[in-house]
Amino acid sequence: QTVVTQEPSLTVSPGGTATLTCASSTGAVTSGYYPNWFQQKPGQAPRALIYSTSNKHSWTPARFSGSLLGGKAVLTLSGVQPEDEADYYCLLFYGGAQVFGGGTKLTVL
Amino acid sequence: QVQLQESGPGLVKPSETLSLTCTVSGGSISSYYWSWIRQPPGKGLEWIGYIYYDGSTSYNPSLKSRVTISVDTSKNQFSLQLTSVTAADTAIYYCARRVYHYDGSAYYLIFDYWGQGTLVTVSS
């Protein structure tokens, strides 16, 4: 069974930089896994942020960016705002199947 | 603006079948993939499966024996059936659109629009 791993939690100061990672139990994450990232605030549905590694949706704030580094997919938040406090999920594609990471709870403190 | 709306019973008895429908508005159901995702209370997201508008499907191997996803293009709807439910199937169920796009030089897999979710509780 394929497992996608994220940091369970991360704390960052306002104005700082948060780096969230997404790893696959099958090995290095590449662009062929088409990493997608989502933000979910309490009581809300997930909202798409990044698709296919590094592409932003029209509604994605400029401070969010996606990349690959060290065999993992990475979501970077530069200049973190208080409203960025949320759960963040990555999604990887394995042929016909998709697997979500366990999520990272980002606290802005 | 594409919108998705889940509908169906909020309470299902153990061993019975959970049935949900997702209605797509603001765009056609054709030419896209349509997914179901669930989230148990206080837990993470789990992909259930998807259907292409032509009826081809892919399911999470852990749920495959109990899941059926179908599409009705005339109504711009797709549906989820999950049989033999237990308390472990209690969750918020979301529908979402998945796009597979080729721009001439690269392929993109995109999850973009989601429904607001509907809570289904399995209890007698």
CB A91 to CB B61 under 8 A?
Answer: no
% of chain B at pLDDT higher than 90: 92
Is B47 within 8 Å of A36 when comparing Cβ atoms? no
CB contact under 8 A, B111 and A101: no
A46: left (phi over 0), alpha (psi -120 to 50) or beta: beta
Residue B50, strand partner residues: B35, B58
Chain A residues near residue B46 by CB distance under 8 angstroms: 100
Indicate the DSSP class of residue A83.
G
User: How is residue B94 written in tokens?
Assistant: 């979301």
Q: What is the pLDDT along chain A (109 residues), one digit of tens a residue?
A: 899 999 999 999 999 999 999 999 999 999 999 999 999 999 999 999 999 999 999 999 999 999 999 999 999 999 999 999 999 999 999 988 999 999 999 999 9
- Name the closest residue on chain B to residue A57, using Cα atoms: B112
Counting beta carbons within 10 angstroms of the beta carbon of residue B52, is it exposed (0 to 12), middle (13 to 18) or buried (19 or more)?
middle
